[in-house]
């Protein structure tokens, strides 16, 4: 087995859930929708965008472990603020066959950049929350003052 395939298998195992049956290799659209608490439409949308590629059996979509792992990565990527384009670029890196050093280096750089973005957003949110809390205290004080004057 090539190094790239070994890393891909390891990668798929790493993003598999602890509750997933390790022997299960195929999933229906309904199973994945339920497991990840997303709609069927969301799965179809990700398929249309080329993020997952289930095979078809008649009208049914059959997802494999790779599709499931990619879906989990898409959802994690969305949760941490990556766009679908950025997620697709990261997923596409795993289709290269250079032993994955390039892919891992690029992914690491992008993850570190996103951590910086999230840290900046956290600071901005903390600042906005502090300002809002001061405003609440001022307005509460004014309201108490008005109520005292009226009494």
The CATH number that applies at residue 88 is 1.10.1660.10
Q: Is 55 part of a structural domain of the chain?
A: yes
Give the residue with greater pLDDT, 134 vs 23: 134
Give the list of residues 6+ apart from residue 69 with CB closer than 8 angstroms, or none: 11, 12, 15, 16
The reply to whether 148 falls in a domain is no
pLDDT score, position 6: 42
The rounded distance, in Å, linking the Cα atoms of 41 and 29 is 10
What predicted TM-score, i.e. pTM, was given to this entire model?
0.69
How many domains is the chain built from?
1
Separation CA 142–CA 151 (nearest Å):
14
Candidate from 1-15, 29-43, 75-89, 133-147 with smallest mean pLDDT: 1-15
Q: Is residue 130 in some structural domain? A: no
Flag whether 151 is in a domain.
no
SS3 135: helix
Quick check: is 122 in a domain?
no
Q: Which two tokens stand for residue 28?
A: 């229906």
Using the predicted structure, report yes or no on whether residue 14 has a pLDDT greater than 70.
no
Is residue 128 in a domain? Answer: no
Helical residues (DSSP H) of 16-97, grouped into ranges: 29-36, 40-48, 65-79, 84-93
Using the CB atoms, write b or e for 6-40: b if 16+ within 10 Å: ebbeebbeeebeeeeeeeeeebebeebbeebebee
Domain that holds residue 81: 3-115
- pLDDT grade for 23, boundaries at 50, 70 and 90: confident
* Average pLDDT of the segment spanning 29-58: 95
């Amino acid at each position: 087995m090539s190094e790239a395939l070994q890393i891909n298998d390891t990668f798929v195992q790493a993003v598999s859930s602890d509750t997933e049956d390790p022997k299960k290799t195929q999933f229906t659209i309904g199973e994945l929708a339920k497991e990840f608490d997303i709609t069927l439409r969301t799965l179809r949308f990700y398929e249309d965008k080329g993020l997952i590629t289930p095979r078809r059996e008649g009208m049914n979509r059959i997802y494999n472990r790779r599709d499931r792992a990619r879906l989990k990565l898409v959802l994690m990527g969305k949760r941490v603020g990556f766009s679908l384009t950025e997620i697709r670029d990261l997923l596409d890196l795993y289709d290269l066959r250079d032993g994955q050093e390039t892919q891992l280096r690029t992914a690491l750089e992008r993850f570190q950049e996103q951590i910086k973005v999230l840290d900046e957003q956290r600071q901005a949110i903390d600042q906005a929350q502090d300002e809002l809390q001061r405003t609440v205290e001022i307005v509460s004080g004014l309201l108490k003052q008005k109520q005292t004057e009226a009494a």
